[in-house]
């Protein structure tokens, strides 16, 4: 669903597409809408969001169901969706999703979590043992769990 086409991790090797879909399905209605993408990609304009939707919404009903998402993710073209989700979560752009980044992102998505839950998420994705943030590699580790 990403118009950039760049990828740090080829789509064919994504172990759990359902996790990625669930992250983008902000309102948890089992389909990705234009509004879900606006929430996930806050900095993207409507043109980019529209392009993402047109790439994935093969039945043209205005939503991306899991099967459509899976089909797009298995293709080579828009493989950068996970990188884009990670970048959206990395609010300060330092290459790591830290405590503040994660709190902001989850609250923006309407999810209420306490400090201990956020710290546990960071520990789960911490690949360097420092507990100072989750890198993209750690983010993939969380999705694969």
* Domain range list for the chain: 13-79, 90-144
CA angle 137, 32, 102 (to 5 degrees): 40
Of 4-18, 49-63, 82-96, the range with the lowest mean pLDDT is 4-18
Predicted local confidence at residue 69, as pLDDT:
86
The CB-based long-range contact list for 119-123 (8 Å cut-off, 24+ gap) reads 122/97, 122/98
Q: What is the C-alpha to C-alpha distance for residues 24 and 32, in angstroms, rounded to an integer?
A: 7
The CATH number given to 13-79 is 1.10.238.10
CA angle 1, 70, 7 (to 5 degrees): 45
pLDDT in tens, 65-109: 999 888 877 664 444 667 777 887 888 889 999 999 888 887 776
- Evaluate whether 13-79 and 90-144 have a shared fold: yes
Predicted local confidence at residue 80, as pLDDT:
65
23: confidence class by pLDDT, cuts 50, 70, 90: confident
Task: Return the CATH architecture of domain 90-144.
Answer: Orthogonal Bundle (1.10)
pLDDT in tens, 122-138: 888 887 777 788 888 88
């Amino acid at each position: 669903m990403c118009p950039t086409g760049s990828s740090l991790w080829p789509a064919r090797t994504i172990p759990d597409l359902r996790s990625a879909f669930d992250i983008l399905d902000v309102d948890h209605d089992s389909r990705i809408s234009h509004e879900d993408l606006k929430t996930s990609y806050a900095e993207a304009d409507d043109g980019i969001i529209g392009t993402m939707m047109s790439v994935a919404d093969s039945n043209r009903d205005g939503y991306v169901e899991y099967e459509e998402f899976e089909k797009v993710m298995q293709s080579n073209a828009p493989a950068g969706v996970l990188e884009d989700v990670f970048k959206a979560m990395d609010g300060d752009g330092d290459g790591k999703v830290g405590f503040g980044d994660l709190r902001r992102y989850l609250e923006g998505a309407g999810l209420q979590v306490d400090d201990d839950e956020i710290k546990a998420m960071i520990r789960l994705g911490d690949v360097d043992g420092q507990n100072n943030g989750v890198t993209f590699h750690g983010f993939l580790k969380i999705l694969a769990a």
